[in-house]
Structure 1
Amino acid sequence: MKTGSAWLFAASLALSSLAHAEIVVRDDSGRDVRLKAPAKRIVTLAPHLAESLYAAGSGAALVGTVDYSDYPPEARKVARVGGYSRLDLEAIAALKPDLVIAWQSGNNAPQIEKLRGLGLTVFISQPNKMEDVADQVERMGRLAGSEATANGVASQFRKRLEALRAANANKPKVRVFYQIWKSPLTTVGRPQIISDAIRLCSGENVFGQLEQMAPTVTVEAVLEADPEAIVATGMGDARPDWLGDWDKWTRMTAVKRGNLFHINPDIMQRHTPRILDGAEKLCAHLDVARSRRPAK
């Protein structure tokens, strides 16, 4: 009996230790973020972070987020703490979060440091490659205690990603100009996740040598690059009127062949599992561009 009692006591201590084990997750700034227990009150500082938290199975823990956090629909009911580039620090602090998830390239860095100065735990996210989206979801699951759901979503994402990669791996390259906005004329540079999506589809970003996330360019630079396809986003499902502005440049290959395409920015410019939906559309558009090449 004494031996049995000792074993039970040791087992209970072990279980207690596991139950109170510290959670340590490294963020995209290289910092180890530590939590004594899974986060129960989370604030996200970008629309894609709110969406990813729901995908990870922890949407119920979201107590605050920024403007334009509209997916899934439940996110629209969550308290707002300003915009991603102009945060309301008082509103964030008032929510008493045990975890704040920030966007490295989108949030104001001094404001993030002020949040840390207030004693808040901040996790920095910056997925620059398609596969990073799955990793982001998994880490959110660890931080919020929803690993089973998060790991399942990440696994399915990776399977779809690899299938899309295999389907497009040996296709001829298509030179692409990706237009985020008209004025200023804005595109994506080398580190942006959309450049990785273009590569996934066997495309080549004509401004992929630029190191900025979202560089501004000139019309002259686009004409000189002579893309075979132009892909624009705009503000939703509707094709932006300014995509047609390129029609006057009749010598550009993309215009001559009618390769002016549109993708909803919600599925292409948000670093969430839905980006695979956008990538599939992008790959389909580039297939159309290939089909319009003149016969040799």
Structure 2
Amino acid sequence: MCLVFLALLLMPLSSFAQSIQVTDDTGRTLQLAQPAQRLISLAPHITENVFAAGAGDLLIAAVKFSDYPEAATHLPRVGSHTQMDLEGIVALQPDLILAWHSGNPRAQLEQLERLGIPIYYSEPRSFAEVAENLRRIGTLTGHQATAELAATELEQGVAAVKTAHQGLRPVRVFYQVWEQPLMTINREHIIHEAISLCGGENIFADVDALIPRISQEAVIQQNPEAILGGGMGEANRAWLDNWQRFESLQAVQDNKLYFIPPSLLQRATPRMLEGTRLVCEKLQQARGH
């Protein structure tokens, strides 16, 4: 009888000891009774980070354009990041959903929350926050060691880029996110940090919106030394070439229009370090080196 009573007392203590608790990018506390085993990712950058943290084998589905690493292309799709397939998500019985706070439809996320499915909200806006996301994913899935290694490698790589480009002549940069409507980034965006690490000056840093819509006239007025852009796909530089008709731009006169593959700079993942190094290389060319 005493042993049974002791076992009953110890059961809640054991459960509490195994529980997992993290704070996500919105400041919300998420608690799991045990490491998650069935994950669904609702954004391509989240899918990448789950794999980087060593938990890719736990993903049971993802949204469209989750195309890195190659294993991610074989995952079942549950819609896009802007329109999820809620029935498909629920049918898969995930024990953790990883959502993009600013990119996924709030109404659909609230529906999932009402069903009691745990949701981790991702919204990294700096390299430090990408590293922290890796660590949190590692904690939530029981892959702390792999996640810590990935996070540390990212932090060390960022520090090395910063050290290598300190004191260089600043280069005034326009970064193009989209063409129609024409869009760029302000200082709160992680791409701004990438440009800054390379000694670049984001000419629209002080605009209020995170991803502001701007006019061609505003770009011409700011007259950047270099224009960086991605485009539709990993090798299509048509957006950059369209600036050639604005011959008054210094970047056009000096032929400083540089293509950066969008997946290397427009997804908040460890691969952004590769994209940042490419930005640094282009800005060195802009300096005449």
TM range (shorter): over 0.9
Secondary structure class of the residue paired with 1:291: coil
Q: Which runs of 5+ in 1 are unaligned?
A: 1-8
Distance 1:213 1:88 in 2: 28
Normalized against structure 2, the TM-score is what? 0.93
Instruction: Confirm or deny: 8 A CA contact 1:25 1:33 kept in the other structure.
Output: yes
Question: What are the within-5 Å matches in structure 2 for residues 55-134 of structure 1?
Answer: 55-134=52-131
Task: Name the Cα RMSD after superposition.
Answer: 1.8
Instruction: Confirm or deny: 8 A CA contact 1:20 1:36 kept in the other structure.
Output: no
Could you say which residue in structure 1 is the equivalent of 2:166?
Answer: 169
The alpha carbon displacement at 1:244 in A equals 1.2
Pick one of 241, 246, 252 that aligns with 1:255.
Answer: 252
Could you say which residue in structure 2 is the equivalent of 1:26?
Answer: 23
Instruction: Confirm or deny: 8 A CA contact 1:191 1:211 kept in the other structure.
Output: no
Q: Which runs of 4+ in 1 moved over 3 A?
A: none
The alpha carbon displacement at 1:19 in A equals 8.8
The alpha carbon displacement at 1:183 in A equals 1.2
Pick one of 262, 267, 278 that aligns with 1:270.
Answer: 267
Instruction: Confirm or deny: 8 A CA contact 2:127 2:155 kept in the other structure.
Output: no
The alpha carbon displacement at 1:247 in A equals 1.3
Secondary structure class of the residue paired with 2:18: coil
Instruction: Confirm or deny: 8 A CA contact 2:15 2:33 kept in the other structure.
Output: no
Secondary structure class of the residue paired with 2:67: coil
Rate the CA distance shift 1:22–1:110 in 2: closer, same or farther, 3 A: same
Could you say which residue in structure 1 is the equivalent of 2:139?
Answer: 142
Could you say which residue in structure 2 is the equivalent of 1:6?
Answer: none
CA distances 1:197-246 after superposition (whole Å, capped 9, x unpaired): 11111111111112322211110000001111000101333142231121
Distance 1:69 1:148 in 2: 24
Normalized against structure 1, the TM-score is what? 0.91
CA distances 1:91-133 after superposition (whole Å, capped 9, x unpaired): 1111111111111121112211111011110110111012211
The alpha carbon displacement at 1:190 in A equals 2.4
1:193 and 2:218 are equivalent in the alignment = no
Name the aligned partner's letter for residue 246 of structure 2.
W
The alpha carbon displacement at 1:68 in A equals 0.5
Question: What are the within-5 Å matches in structure 2 for residues 183-262 of structure 1?
Answer: 183-262=180-259
Secondary structure class of the residue paired with 1:231: strand
Q: Which runs of 5+ in 2 are unaligned?
A: 1-5
Could you say which residue in structure 1 is the equivalent of 2:38?
Answer: 41
Instruction: Confirm or deny: 8 A CA contact 1:42 1:101 kept in the other structure.
Output: yes
Could you say which residue in structure 2 is the equivalent of 1:5?
Answer: none
> Equivalent pairs: percent with the same residue?
42
Could you say which residue in structure 1 is the equivalent of 2:3?
Answer: none
Instruction: Confirm or deny: 8 A CA contact 1:181 1:234 kept in the other structure.
Output: yes
